[in-house]
Amino acid sequence: MDKRSFIKSLGIGLATLPLFGKSEAMDLASQVAPLLKGNVLKAGDTIGIITPASALGDEDAITLTKEVLTYFGFKVKEGKYIRQRYGNLAGTDDQRLEDLHDMFADKSVAGILCIRGGAGASRLLGRIDYELIKKNPKALIGYSDITALIMAFQAKAGLVTFHGPVGTSTWSNLVAKTFKEQLMDNQLLTYTNPAKKGDNIVQYKDRITTINPGIAEGKLLGGNLTLISGLCGSPYLPDFTGSILFLEEINESPEKVDRMFCQLMNAGILKQIKGFVFGKCTGCSPSGGYGSLNLDQILRDFIKPLQIPSYSGAVIGHIDDQFLLPVGVQARIDANKGTIEILEKALV
């Protein structure tokens, strides 16, 4: 990477360089971790499977995950403790951490797929060996509670990870095609909701709603709203300045969603971003009482005043046929069309 590209990757516009002397600019650059990328995955590679959050319900979860990876021609290495249970967690913190570290340390493992999310990944963040991660960059794939790892790896190691299906997700032909194009072919994809009119004259499902029109570019960051809001004030969130933020949620009432957006606002994150995409809020119905805000009202209250390109309804979240987004790379959104265009290769 040349000097111009490196400075751009730090989110510092070239026009600002006259504000710094040469030594000051180099000092600033040295404080920011460079973007790290794993290798492109190929048939014959070994993929490690781990459970860094909740416990598995049965052996089928492992069997299905292995069948999915075998479909792509991968070999599979199981984490030592994926069948363990400690309360609702997939083993003790020590056990889940050991599996995570082992997969990154193992030179024969090309990438890591989380079998499921759930809860508990945040318990590991203060004990992860981020120097080990930096020395062994590789693709990590997951969503939901895996957002904790996705955010921490970006913040502490600068690692590009992938927000997408876990092993127990529904791997449709569309999801499989996206996985191959993104992780095996290393394509620069443009993500847009599938057009499914069926026998109808207009599309009723998976429509997008433009909050503020326009086009924005920036580092693509995001994941589950609960996890990101819960990490506010910790060292495990990356710098959101000039970024494109995407969010999704499941089974949270509107008042809780509202509270979490308050947290992002009060933490200053919403003022830092250049663009915003909200995915699906699956099962986020009102819990009763004297009435409730709806999601449209919440987004209107918190996002509309930002006057940045923004839209909702993207197929991101706890759904089938979800996007598989590389987190940490440069991207462009078009809030009028409802697209997320990846501008930078996510792997090497």
What is the per-residue pLDDT across 201-226, written as a single tens digit (0 to 9) for each?
A: 888 888 999 999 999 999 999 999 99
**169 belongs to the catalytic site:** no
For 293-332, the pLDDT digits (tens) are: 999 999 999 999 999 999 999 999 999 999 999 999 999 9
C-alpha dist (Å) from residue 344 to 42, 80, 180, 211: 19, 35, 17, 26
The whole-number pLDDT of residue 27 equals 38
- What is the average pLDDT across 101-106? 98
Asked if 184 and 158 touch (Cβ cutoff 8 Å), the reply is no
Domains, the chain, with CATH or none: 46-184 (3.40.50.10740), 190-342 (3.50.30.60)
The whole-number pLDDT of residue 3 equals 41
Q: Is 333 exposed, middle or buried (0-12, 13-18, 19+ CB in 10 A)?
A: buried
How far is it, in rounded angstroms, from Cα 207 to Cα 139? 30
The whole-number pLDDT of residue 25 equals 43
Least confident of 34-38, 71-75, 90-94, 193-197: 193-197
- Name the catalytic one among 229, 248, 249, 310: 248
Residue 90 has pLDDT above 50, yes or no: yes
H helical segments located in 238-328: 254-266, 269-272, 295-302
**101 belongs to the catalytic site:** no
H helical segments located in the chain: 3-9, 22-30, 60-71, 93-105, 130-135, 147-157, 173-179, 225-230, 254-266, 269-272, 295-302
Asked if 134 and 102 touch (Cβ cutoff 8 Å), the reply is no
**108 belongs to the catalytic site:** no
Instruction: Provide the mean pLDDT of the chain.
Output: 91
Instruction: Name the residue among 35, 37, 247, 234 with its Cα closest to residue 122.
Output: 234
Regarding predicted confidence, which is higher, 242 or 25?
A: 242
The whole-number pLDDT of residue 33 equals 56
State how beta strands 215-224 and 161-163 pair.
unpaired
**What are the residues whose beta carbons fall under 8 Å from the beta carbon of 227, sequence distance 6 or more?**
121, 122, 144, 145, 147, 148, 151
The whole-number pLDDT of residue 4 equals 40
* Tokens (6 digits) for 263: 């947290």
The whole-number pLDDT of residue 198 equals 82
Residue 229 has pLDDT above 80, yes or no: yes
- Name the catalytic one among 169, 229, 318, 341: 318
The whole-number pLDDT of residue 288 equals 63
* pLDDT bracket for residue 1 (50, 70, 90): very low
- Name the catalytic one among 9, 54, 122, 144: 144
For 107-126, the pLDDT digits (tens) are: 999 999 999 999 999 999 99
Strand extents, DSSP E, 226-329: 244-250, 275-282, 310-312, 325-327
